[in-house]
A and B are shown apart, each in its own frame.
Chain A
Amino acid sequence: MSDRAAILQSVRSASRALDTSAADIAAEAAALVADRTGVQPGFDGVPLTDRFVAKATSERVTATVDHVAGFDGVPGAVQAYLAHVKRSGPICVQSCAELDGLNWTGMERGATLQEDGGCAVTCAEYGIAETGSVVFRSGAHQPILTNFLPLHHIVILRTSTLLAYPEDLWAHLGGRDAPQSRLLTIVTGTSGTADIEARNVRGAHGPKHMHIVMVAD
């Protein structure tokens, strides 16, 4: 007998619910999460943007946030951040429709991130207000490593993509029947570790600094 058959047979022989139909199991599973609000941390009345910013900039998440009125303002905000952290040299900007058309004069695009210490600008697909998180997916124009290799990670986030809870995200991604990208990551702040004496330290392997530029749209 294959290991697969052996495992499934052992599972079945231990089960007392073999005659339940797939539809009934699905209904039972759905009922367990039907009342979302019962388990979602409530923030009634607080606008999504306020909740997002409060969480993202909290002591536990440690990002910084800037606001611009439109995409045209993004290069200026990036330049201001670089000046603030006293960085010069080339930066790695994700190549995508939103960022390619902008005026990057004064900044050198095209850095690779193989060496440590770089700075990258990437577009998040969604923001999650509950935890101050940003969401990235892999794709042709979304190399995942760009979000993990820099020391400074500048995230461009459209305010219209803010969602209250991760449960809302699944609905936006099209549910179980929609094609899924290889990787979907919910990023909350920067790479950290508490592995030595439980002391929280930032910049473990990935970004040490996260700066979120929120674009009003």
Chain B
Amino acid sequence: MIQTSDRFKEHVARALTDTNLKVALNRTTSLLQTRRKQVVEEYAEYDEARKRAQAIKDHTLKHMAHYLEMFEENATAQGAIVHWAKTPDEARRIVADICVKAEAKTATRVKSMLGEEIGIADALKDAGVERIETDLAEHIIQLAEDPPSHIVMPAMHKTHEQVATLFDDKHGVAPDSHDIPDLVASARRELRQKFLSADVGISGANFLIAETGAIVTVTNEGNSELTCTPPKVHIVTAGIEKIIPGMDHASVFLRLLARAAIGAEITQYTTFYNGPKRDGDADGPEQYHIVLVDNHRTDMLGSDLQPMLRCIRCGACMNHCPVYAAVGGHAYGAVYPGPMGSVLTPALSSLEAAKDLPNACTLNGRCKEVCPVNIPLPDMLRNLRARQWDAKLVSPVAKTALGGWGYLAQRPKLYHLVVGLTVHGMRAWAFGRNRIKRMPFAGGWVKHRDLPRPEKGSFMQQYNASKHGIGRRS
């Protein structure tokens, strides 16, 4: 997809007036939060597992060259052909070449964000290959010609009513009804023969296991196995940060991934691929390629962005982000939306091309709290803001406002006076109602929501009047 993060504000303005989007996001994010909370609470060992996962990732990143070479050696011994790509261009060229050599006409694909990142759709187009997305959400957005809006549920922006209209229009046989189970059944009917007749199957990898050379996919639909077994060629594209040492380490992550991503103890299908079809095997591909992609990951290594390489792409940070819940994934204008995307997009492109993203954050800290590998997302977003300041990318209005705030903050008496007066003024402006619908100097803020009427007095005035207050202490 073409990155349009530089038009974030424009996207947001459109998203906030999109009533379908509001319905779709409301129906999903709260459900995902509830499910995750329940399953994490049931897992008494969660805190220890989270610490362990962070330590394993940090260990692997510290010895990354060692593990990548180990992975390559073991995967090759299992019959894989391992390719390396420094850039998305190179990765696309490798994929297109494999398809051309295999004389492929069609390719089924299992959703992978790395595939989106490198533009795998374009690689297939270049090779003259028809692309068949098999993940239900990817199937929906392929038909709608939309980019993904979430890393686990790429069609999160669509209501079931919108999906129904789409399937009525595009499926060979229209869905039996517009109920969700019938929509799922319709996609099943549409895709089944395509799975069995594809020439190439393309997957990503949730993990690369150094000690065995296996790649792991995790799905609920079972589309990975159906994509990667019938065709004569299986191509895996994976970011180099997916590497972990061994099978026991994989168990630690698998428990966390399913809980964080979908609020389940395990996904329905956890599959380890070890190479092409063995002699005498009843089924499986004859050729098996793994494309290891860098795309700026090695730039992040050793920098303050290194913790981002721990990310296992669960999507919990966006499910718990109030900004994401209000504007949806498309507003970010990049492959990776939400908090993790706001850190990753500047790293994969440039600070300037994504300058609004680190600011689209209230620093409430929920993203870090729910992150299964404890990535300090709020700290990293704050650092990116500081870098923007240093690179002189901050707008004149923001600069003036910060200057004004800085002036006040260094003069506490004046600060308290101004805050006290503002609170007083806002209470008066509310005219006895609990909500403020229009506010001078904050027109943008109240355009799509109301301001609550402030409590009586500033925080400090209330604090001092309380039993903890300085004036009350004995």
Contacts and interface: CB of A to CB of B under 8 A. Distances in A.
A88 interface: no
B229 A206 contact: no
Given A7-B292, A138-B283, A184 B64 contact: no
Interface in B228-271: 228-230, 240, 245-249, 251-252, 254-255, 262, 264-271
Interface in A118-170: 130-131, 133, 138-145, 147-149, 165-167, 170
Interface stretch (B189-197, B360-368, B374-382, B445-453): B189-197
A204 B180 contact: no
A145 B90 contact: no
Contacts of B59: 28-29, 32
Contacts of A22: 66
A60 interface: yes
Contacts of A182: 273-278, 281, 284
A176 B212 contact: yes
Interface stretch (B45-53, B336-344, B390-398): B45-53
A88 B255 CA distance: 39
Contact of A181 (B85, B159, B191, B274): B274
B266 A133 contact: yes
A78 to B, nearest CB: 21
Contact of B180 (A139, A167, A199): A199
A147 B282 CA distance: 13
Interface residues of B, number: 103
B274 A33 contact: no
Contact of A39 (B85, B252, B276, B299): B252
Given A25-B63, A183-B228, 10 more contacts: A29-B246, A32-B59, A33-B251, A116-B189, A138-B282, A139-B281, A180-B275, A184-B272, A195-B153, A197-B159
Interface of A: 2-4, 6-8, 10-17, 20, 22, 25, 28-29, 32-33, 36, 38-42, 55, 60, 114, 116, 130-131, 133, 138-145, 147-149, 165-167, 170, 176, 180-199, 201, 203-207
16 contacts: A11-B301, A29-B246, A138-B281, A170-B247, A183-B229, A185-B271, A188-B268, A188-B269, A194-B153, A196-B184, A197-B28, A197-B180, A199-B160, A204-B220, A204-B223, A205-B192
